[in-house]
Structure 1
């Protein structure tokens, strides 16, 4: 590399002699930086979404390539978050593609020390049977001669990994089942 080539590649020289006297644009950009491409440039499509972690509802851009989620970033068009995400929202790619994510139902029988895999239909039937039994055992038609029509057999505590629509449907379900102890993590 000659002296002239070295001087021309020096950012301070480019800043003083070029059209970028403050050194915030082309003067500060190296050749290697100019060749870089965003990792989302190769995405087939961008899907708008909402962060699943809390009730704020920050907008997300989900980048999909070959029908797989490759990146999740804040949506700059969102009036709520304006492209910013908290650390948890920024890591939501792990929620969809993380190696620790389970794709089967695991069940541990009472007094057992081992987990066993169940198919989804069996697990759903077990849950439905338990909900019906708990509702039946805890049902109160009236308390102190006041008609209540409620159950104290179960309660609901919604989590922050559900979006607003899912939490709304869960609230409607538990209300229809007669539960009165319905709460959400976002409100606590």
Structure 2
């Protein structure tokens, strides 16, 4: 690294150069000039929707080598016109966090350790428990013979990272199954 001289100081560069207000080339260092945006090195970009709330802000997801490297607001989106809230702007962390679980984890009753399960096995376990709870807690009619057709042993609590379409399908599914306790984290 070259040693800086008195003439290399930013204030001196500002006063000597064509940028006396200090808003352009006078205040940029060689390191700053060498920086390249992550989006330039991306293999591709995909349009997406922010997963956090029901607004549906448009996102541009830049990826390289099969990994998300940057997420920005999509200026072509009629909803957000290229803007994202702080949570949406940080949604890259949702995809890239080292804490993100990528396997199905299960802790058996009374066990002290978690174990990995295959996705098919976990889905079958959930389906079996859902069907059994529906069967065991089904109420066809009340004491006066009025039809109820509900399952009181099933409830749903959706998360804030589920978009509108997924929430719509979950609501339809649980309603068709007879559940009446259907809620979303965003409303609590």
CA deviation after TM superposition for structure 1 residue 29, in Å: 4.0
> 2: distance between equivalents of 1:114 and 1:25?
58
> 1: distance between equivalents of 2:132 and 2:183?
22
Alpha-carbon contact 1:74-1:81 (below 8 Å) kept: yes
Q: Indicate yes or no: 2:29 matched with 1:10.
A: no
> 2: distance between equivalents of 1:130 and 1:65?
40
Alpha-carbon contact 2:59-2:72 (below 8 Å) kept: yes
CA deviation after TM superposition for structure 1 residue 84, in Å: 3.3
TM-score by length of 2: 0.83
> 2: distance between equivalents of 1:156 and 1:12?
66
Q: 5+ unaligned residues in a row in structure 2: which ranges?
A: none
Alpha-carbon contact 2:10-2:27 (below 8 Å) kept: no
Q: Give the direction of change, closer, same or farther, for the CA distance of 1:3–1:126 in structure 2 (3 Å limit).
A: closer
CA deviation after TM superposition for structure 1 residue 80, in Å: 3.2
CA RMSD of aligned residues (A): 2.6
CA deviation after TM superposition for structure 1 residue 135, in Å: 0.6
For residues 84-130 of structure 1, the C-alpha deviation after alignment (integer angstroms, 9 at most, x for no partner) is 33333233222212221222111111121111111111111110011
Q: Give the direction of change, closer, same or farther, for the CA distance of 1:153–1:79 in structure 2 (3 Å limit).
A: same
Aligned partner of 1:115 in structure 2 is 114
> 1: distance between equivalents of 2:119 and 2:62?
29
Q: Report the number of matched residues.
A: 184
> 1: distance between equivalents of 2:67 and 2:182?
36
User: What is the DSSP-based 3-state SS (H/G/I as helix, E as strand, rest coil) of the residue aligned with 2:38?
Assistant: coil
Q: Give the direction of change, closer, same or farther, for the CA distance of 1:4–1:94 in structure 2 (3 Å limit).
A: closer
Structure 1 segment 1-188 matched on structure 2, within 5 A: 10-14=13-17, 18=18, 23-26=22-25, 28-143=27-142, 144-188=144-188
CA deviation after TM superposition for structure 1 residue 74, in Å: 2.5
CA deviation after TM superposition for structure 1 residue 3, in Å: 7.3
CA deviation after TM superposition for structure 1 residue 75, in Å: 2.4
TM-score by length of 1: 0.83
> 1: distance between equivalents of 2:10 and 2:126?
72
